[in-house]
Amino acid sequence: MKQEHPFTQFKFCPKCGSARFIEHNEKSKACENCGFVYYFNPSASTVAVIRNHRNELLVCRRAKEPAKGTLDLPGGFSDCFETSEDSVIREVTEETGLKVKSTQYLFSLPNQYLYSDFLVHTVDMFFLCNVEDNETLTPMDDVAELMWLPLHKLRPEEFGLASIREGIRKLLAKGF
């Protein structure tokens, strides 16, 4: 599948608004009017991998598009001036009500996330998260449902976002 380059979404210079915003090289566009060079980089996103004492994984059901109704893991976009660790802690609290005690970086995967008909390129960073009380779950924010799934019942194809599917495959292959 040929992927559309993200530059096609940017027609005007973000600094001066000129339409003379052209491809500079494979990583950037340049404005012929003001000289500004814009490098298109992915947005940071975090994913929480939370396991309980019964060796089950905390899984969400998405309440909103993209992939509404499919399975997901807690997580989301990092805010400006926020570390990835702070981001995953905040996202877990916002989506589940759980308090994260510690995080451990696992791996990252590239992804594309359609938001308001705009394709956002992301780097999704997966973190193993230990939480205080994992029995009290409250689906909030963009989560319709929270559930604990035994690891042997995880089916990557039931997860709606490509990086999460790949992350589940990776975790299962590692004997998570």
* CB-facing half-sphere around the CA of 80: CA atoms within 13 A: 0
Q: How far from each other are the two terminal CA atoms of the chain, in whole angstroms?
A: 30
**Distances from the Cα of 35 to the Cαs of 6, 18, 20, 21, 28, in angstroms?**
20, 10, 10, 9, 12
Q: Is 166 known to be catalytic?
A: no
The torsion angles phi and psi of 42, rounded to 5 degrees, stand at: -70, 155
Structure tokens at 59: 């899984």
Which member of 23, 32, 65, 145 is catalytic? 145
Contacts of 60 (CB under 8 A, 6+ apart): 71, 72, 73, 74, 95, 96, 139, 143, 144, 145, 146
Q: Which residues are known to be catalytic?
A: 145
